[in-house]
Structure 1
């Protein structure tokens, strides 16, 4: 199936030292880039020296040993190559909204590169699967493609399996309605359209992968944790600079830090605009 794209689209998968998107590091990344002009996809697969120990739990999952990455380049040495390969493409993966995207953002942030996802759309193939047929990637491949996933948790094998599952989902759910938890019917939400799938696979109530910030009923971004839970982020942090600095210096994801800085700037800009307007009216 030919993907209908209005922007390049990168499917990617990460294997890491563990599951903590802030503390852990990438040991392998694989990317397959589809181009909006229809030319053949390009692939990039890299092993990375994380600079920290790989947890036993992670090794048991992906099988990558410390000796496998001991002589590999660090992320800092590979960051520009990965950045240039992705370019301004939209992103897609399996559980990518909660793991791969925020972890990649953290790695870029550590080397002083702000990987902005606010202008990118993302498709989480797992979200389509969990909404339509709750299972795992291995089961998804079997269900949609009648294939066995032989090399599970090798990043390139996983990203290939993710693409196969995604194409299988587009075929299987063409014209199929979705009934949500509240009984609301969504007419044929699975389409060969990145914008439609972005909206279907992302929970717009939360604005970051760790769900520290969310949108309230009015669409305002509010805290989803701590002493200011439910309070507007921009206004609150503009007034409480100590709390603002605490967030910027503590172990929050770079996505959260980018968002709070943006919200404070927007709130401050709005205040100045009001002051100017009031001054003109006097």
Structure 2
């Protein structure tokens, strides 16, 4: 899936990052598995590292059903959570220091949970990670009215990106990176990763406002409640 020469040359190499966790609460839930890697412009993975953590709390059955990791397995085979969090943050810092944009699907979830894990374990968190590429935000911005869900598996299928082993951190991270490359072929993305990062901040805010309006209209939120649209780390 080589990109046209004129399409986003800054996507020649991208980092990819994904977490699988104990749940959906970025404040209280914990990392179970993590993946950080690098893709070339063809979507081939040049480097990769995976982690399995012992989150030090029970993994709910619902989470195990999603990613396949049980509490007993994590306790027996996982590394201490503090060690995993520190190593994941270091790996991301190295990629950012190299000037690579990092692709994360629904980035505000992964980066926010990682930030809370860092605080929990007394580790220096990533401060304003940038540049980040979030295919979820970009896809919604460029193809706003397309019907259907926007889960990674659905969006990957829409852009003809294979996704085998969904909800495995490595599979999801690589698929998200390949979706980002497909988006660069499909739409006129900005001319730099920095500019795209800045635009995503506004797009995420607008998308959250629209979701807030919808949730209030359908009774899922009270009129005084809002969906947090700060990106790539929630307020």
TM-score by length of 1: 0.59
Partner-residue secondary structure (3-state), 2:159 = helix
Q: Using the alignment, how far apart are the partners of 2:124 and 2:90 within structure 1?
A: 13
Unaligned runs of 5+ in 2: 209-223, 226-232
Deviation (angstroms), 1:62:
1.8
Give the aligned length: 191
Q: Using the alignment, how far apart are the partners of 1:170 and 1:53 within structure 2?
A: 40
**2:214 match:** none
Partner-residue secondary structure (3-state), 2:91 = helix
**1:247 match:** none
Whether the 8 Å CA contact 1:22–1:103 is kept in 2: the answer is yes
* Correspondence 1:63-78 to 2 at 5 A: 63-71=68-76, 72-78=78-84
Give 2:136's match in structure 1, choosing from 109, 126, 129.
126
2:61 is the counterpart of 1:47: no
Whether the 8 Å CA contact 1:170–1:192 is kept in 2: the answer is no
**2:228 match:** none
Q: Using the alignment, how far apart are the partners of 1:59 and 1:172 within structure 2?
A: 35
Q: Using the alignment, how far apart are the partners of 2:176 and 2:129 within structure 1?
A: 23
Give 2:179's match in structure 1, choosing from 165, 180, 204.
165
**1:110 match:** 120
2:115 is the counterpart of 1:86: no
**2:194 match:** 195
**2:221 match:** none
Give 1:62's match in structure 2, choosing from 49, 63, 67.
67
Partner-residue secondary structure (3-state), 2:54 = coil
Q: Using the alignment, how far apart are the partners of 2:75 and 2:104 within structure 1?
A: 27
Change in Cα spacing, 1:127 to 1:205, as seen in structure 2 (3 Å) is closer
Partner-residue secondary structure (3-state), 2:26 = coil
| Structure (1 or 2) with the larger CA radius of gyration | 1
2:95 is the counterpart of 1:95: no
Instruction: Encode CA deviations 1:30-62: one digit per residue, 9 max, x unaligned.
Output: 111369xxxx83211111110001122222222
Partner-residue secondary structure (3-state), 1:48 = strand
Q: Using the alignment, how far apart are the partners of 1:201 and 1:104 within structure 2?
A: 20
Whether the 8 Å CA contact 1:48–1:75 is kept in 2: the answer is yes
Q: Using the alignment, how far apart are the partners of 1:151 and 1:34 within structure 2?
A: 18
Instruction: Encode CA deviations 1:92-132: one digit per residue, 9 max, x unaligned.
Output: 300012x1000111111122122133263322111011223
**1:144 match:** 159
